[in-house]
Structure 1
Amino acid sequence: MVLPAALARAVLLQAAGTTLVHGTLPDLGVNKPIFFFAALRLPESLDRWNRACLRGQQPKRNWRRKMRFSERLFLMFATLLVLTGSGPGLALENGTAAQSEVVVFAAASTTNAVTEIADLFTARGLGRITTSFASSSTLAKQIASGAPANVYLSANEKWMDFLEEKGAIEKASRFDLLGNRLVLIAPVQSPIQTVDVRRGLDLAALLGRDGRLSTGDPEHVPVGIYARQAMESLGLWDQVKDRLAPMKDVRAALVLVERAEAPLGVVYATDAAITKKVRIVGAFPLESHPPIVYPVAAVAGQKTDAAARFLDFLKTPEARTVFEKYGFEARSCSSGI
């Protein structure tokens, strides 16, 4: 059996790229480095097998075992990718569908709104959206490393600036899409009712003896960065800097308070609004931190026609309605596309 080495490499590299968007492929537990290793090594193994077969020779026994394993590995991944619509073979057969797909990397706090807007975009026949939600910092680093995204939506300007400095976004496509508020939350059953977030607040006392303040990691997660800036400006940071529960993104910080594993948390108003398991007990003064701005842009070299349509769609009244439903301040609006 002669197997095409070039196709093997294309399929496995496509699989490796898929893991950047979706993490690990379902039920396989195989990560990106292993995919890339297989993509580099498997085609050479298949070449040796093919040359032996074409010469009418039987490969050595150990190579026969390796080749049979390689064939199974290749066929397993090729079949999976074709069935999931991720393989290059399917893209070749349906080039139009591939060109209309938009991969959107968006801040975790926009999960509900962007998911709903993506469904509207698809329903109108404008293209198909694949989303990946995480901390803005995590997504920015993935894009800087070559992750296959078309559009990046950040929860702060810092990480968009990071990509712009690296030439990783289309500068002309960048615009400020949304605004948000920073709030203090407590579990719904908490005895804490209303907190006046101001200078002189005894925040440590509200946390209790062993309680921690849940928020994003202030070293890189936007909500944690805003929280630190706000508390430093109000003179509260020294009380809590050693009592944080620094989470990977704002949704993880929210979950910790939902479960009452933290007595208080600092999140965005939009995140607090999506659950009945927490209450907003206070709001940080607007002047205590820089404005919370969500810039969006096309990734450099990835601004397809469908990506441009999606960026335009984010400015429409239809999208604005969705954003405002989830509590965002919509900063950009057009008449439609």
Structure 2
Amino acid sequence: MHRLAGIFLSLAILVGSALSPVHAEDKTLTVFAAASMKNALDDIDAAFTARTGIKVSASYAASSTLAKQIEQGAPADIFVSADLDWMDYATAKKTINEATRVNLLGNTIVLIAPKDSRIDHVTIAQGFDLAKLAGDGKIATGDVKAVPVGKYAKAALEKLGAWQAAEPKFAMADSVRAALTLVARGEAVLGIVYSTDAKVEPGVKIVGTFPVDSHPAIIYPVAATATAKPEATQYLDYLHSQAAKTVLEKYGFNYLLKPVS
């Protein structure tokens, strides 16, 4: 009898160990988020996991890249875009659950230079000469045809009358963080990034801020994907919380929602 009980116990342990990896996998969420979200979202994800036990795997890149990866079947549960256009793209492709979509954050774009640059305070207004300011150097930002920060930058420079002369000096990066790195390393004399990026990179300084009316409003929408796991609802709820708001504002984002918890 004791021997039979031992066999059943061994079988139970074997079955349990076979099921546990599947169970653990079910409790992992994959978040695709705009590169500029990395520092803040890493903190939020750690706090979310501590609270819920649900692990979060985050992938950071340009919103354009992420939207296309989701379209091609990448297994994401949450998408955070740095502009409305790429969330609209995902909506049109039916790769997100539109009912879960909300506008989460706002941001600003700034002109940066390497920390030891002689360029200091720049007044960014109609007619400012960015090309002259850059001299023989390069200006880094995201690809103006696809990466949100680059699109915002081009729109602002066109409105301010500075784009045409400055365009040949631009070094187009595949994400805002790549542009930030080019400036921090001194490979570009100037860069246009989000203020939140400049805040977390000690190798650069902000030398000017673009007027908010010089470009479309910078809005970060978030949504669950069409194939999201049920736990995605808990993650979106957490982004609506006071705890998430506190972290995001600490990193300089403008929190657009009213916290519900």
Same fold (TM over 0.5): yes
CA deviation map 1:129-183 (0-9, x unaligned): 0000001000000000000000000000111000100111000000000000010
Separation (CA, whole Å) in 1 of partners of 2:234 and 2:148 = 27
Matched, 1:309 2:234: yes
Alignment equivalent of 1:129, drawn from 56, 66, 82 = 56
Matched, 1:107 2:34: yes
Q: Which runs of 5+ in 1 are unaligned?
A: 1-89
- Greater per-residue strand proportion: 2
3-state secondary structure, aligned to 1:167: coil
Provide the TM-score with structure 2 as the length reference: 0.91
Separation (CA, whole Å) in 1 of partners of 2:250 and 2:87 = 25
Separation (CA, whole Å) in 2 of partners of 1:185 and 1:112 = 19
- Code of the aligned partner of 1:252: A
- Code of the aligned partner of 2:191: G
- Code of the aligned partner of 2:157: M
Alignment equivalent of 2:96, drawn from 169, 178, 184 = 169
Alignment equivalent of 2:150, drawn from 196, 206, 224 = 224
Give the superposed CA RMSD: 1.2
| Mapping for residues 1-337 of structure 1, pairs under 5 Å | 92-208=19-135, 210-302=136-228, 304-336=229-261
C-alpha distance 267-91 of structure 1, shift in aligned 2 (>3 A): farther
1:100, 1:305 within 8 Å by CA — same for their partners in 2? no
Residue 305 of structure 1 deviates from its aligned partner by 2.4
Deviant stretches of 4+, over 6 Å = none
CA deviation map 1:263-307 (0-9, x unaligned): 1100000000002211110000000001000000011022x2211
3-state secondary structure, aligned to 2:200: coil
Range moving further from structure 2, 90-99 or 222-231: 90-99
Residue 92 of structure 1 deviates from its aligned partner by 4.4
Separation (CA, whole Å) in 2 of partners of 1:170 and 1:335 = 21
- Code of the aligned partner of 2:178: A
Separation (CA, whole Å) in 2 of partners of 1:221 and 1:281 = 22
Q: Which runs of 5+ in 2 are unaligned?
A: 1-16
Separation (CA, whole Å) in 1 of partners of 2:35 and 2:142 = 11
Q: Which has the higher Rg, Structure 1 or Structure 2?
A: 1
3-state secondary structure, aligned to 1:104: strand
Residue of structure 2 in register with 1:38 after alignment: none
3-state secondary structure, aligned to 2:220: strand
Separation (CA, whole Å) in 2 of partners of 1:105 and 1:263 = 30
Provide the TM-score with structure 1 as the length reference: 0.71
- Code of the aligned partner of 1:273: K
C-alpha distance 148-92 of structure 1, shift in aligned 2 (>3 A): farther
- Code of the aligned partner of 2:109: L
3-state secondary structure, aligned to 2:29: strand
3-state secondary structure, aligned to 1:109: helix
Residue of structure 1 in register with 2:6 after alignment: none
Bigger relative contact order (CA 8 A; separation at least 6):
2
Matched positions, count: 245
C-alpha distance 198-191 of structure 1, shift in aligned 2 (>3 A): same
Residue 198 of structure 1 deviates from its aligned partner by 1.0
Separation (CA, whole Å) in 2 of partners of 1:106 and 1:251 = 13
3-state secondary structure, aligned to 1:296: strand
- Code of the aligned partner of 1:312: D
Separation (CA, whole Å) in 2 of partners of 1:275 and 1:93 = 41
Separation (CA, whole Å) in 1 of partners of 2:36 and 2:255 = 14
Separation (CA, whole Å) in 1 of partners of 2:150 and 2:134 = 17
Residue 261 of structure 1 deviates from its aligned partner by 1.1
